[in-house]
Amino acid sequence: MSHDTDDPDTAPDVARARRSRALSVGIPSVLAVVGLAALPFVLVDDDAGGELRTTPAAATDGDPSRADRDRVFGQVEATTGTLPGRDGPVLAPIATTTVAPTTTAPAPSTTFRTTTPSTTQSTTTSTIPPSATTTPPTTTPPATTPPTTTPPATTTAPAPVAPSEPLRPVDPPSDPHGHEEQIALGRMSIPAIGLDAPLLEGIRLPTLDAGPGHWPGTAMPGQIGNVVVAAHRTSEQAHFRHVDRLVPGDEVRFDVDGRSIPYRVTSTEIVQPDAMWIVDQTDTATATLFACHPPGSVSQRIVVHLELAG
């Protein structure tokens, strides 16, 4: 439905609307033109790659106000497609979006400095004097098996026995070279001089030529009494040749009747040929060895005294 503009009832309203429209369009346009003419413009130059530039009003030849207005209106028309007051739309404030070139600033180099506190560990060394309570290291010696040494067989001397009848040594033979029956009693050994010989009964020279001879009537080895034995030093086998080398402690062993009876040297002396006391019997188990002395002579006799080894 159309309204009649000549209607007196609506005329005041129409007039007010027109005035309002004129004011809303005209006044802002005038203010914009005046302000743009008095100030430099910040424009975006498309030919310069979007670079922002400032255009002062005094740089335009001729009429600066008109030239600036034309430039502004040209920009506004190019942007909105209309001019204020020409095509009708109200000129709204131009929102200028300035796209600043993207500049990627290098990330600030941040150096993280880690400070590790220097910790000095104090080591206290205690020196304990050797005399303190220091336990010496225990050294276990290697297990060693000592060599097995088989000791020499020792024979314990049997207790001496008393003779079955009184002992009476025979007198020296009147004929030393006469014949007599040779009876073997056992063996006799003296390790110190390397002697090992048969022990015979008799003291005539032919008997002594065969080996040491036991003086008849004296004690037998192992009996209480004096065992008297004679032998040569130079003739025949000279069994007592080195009897002078015997020293106290040397062993003399008699093996008779299945027994080994040891004696020990106690002393040595030189006597005359008529010293018959060397065959005297004793109350203990003793023995006497004798021979001519010096070797090769009959002027003296060498006598070695023994006792039963306990």
pLDDT over 60 at 205, yes or no = yes
Do the beta carbons of residue 234 and residue 281 sit within 8 Å?
no
130 assigned to some structural domain = no
Position 172 in a domain: no
- The CATH number of whichever domain residue 247 belongs to comes to 2.40.260.10
> What number of CA atoms fall less than 13 Å from residue 58's CA on the CB side?
0
Residue 222 lies in a domain: yes
Domain edge (last residue) among 80, 99, 129: 80
Query: How high is the mean pLDDT of the chain?
Result: 73
pLDDT at 68: 59
Helix (H) or strand (E) holding 18: helix 11-38
Q: What is the pLDDT of residue 126?
A: 47
Average pLDDT over residues 121-150: 53
Residue 38 lies in a domain: yes
Residue pair 266/156 in contact (Cβ under 8 Å)? The answer is no
> What is the pTM assigned to this prediction?
0.51
Tell me how many domains the chain contains.
2
Q: What is the pLDDT of residue 234?
A: 92
Q: What is the domain extent for residue 213?
A: 183-308
Whether residue 45 is predicted with pLDDT greater than 70 in this model: the reply is no
Domain presence at residue 101: no
Q: Which of 64, 80, 96 is the last residue of a domain?
A: 80
Judged against a pLDDT cut of 90, whether residue 22 lies above it is answered with no
| 85: three-class secondary structure by DSSP | coil
Structural tokens at position 169 = 């040594």
Residues 72 and 189 in one domain: no
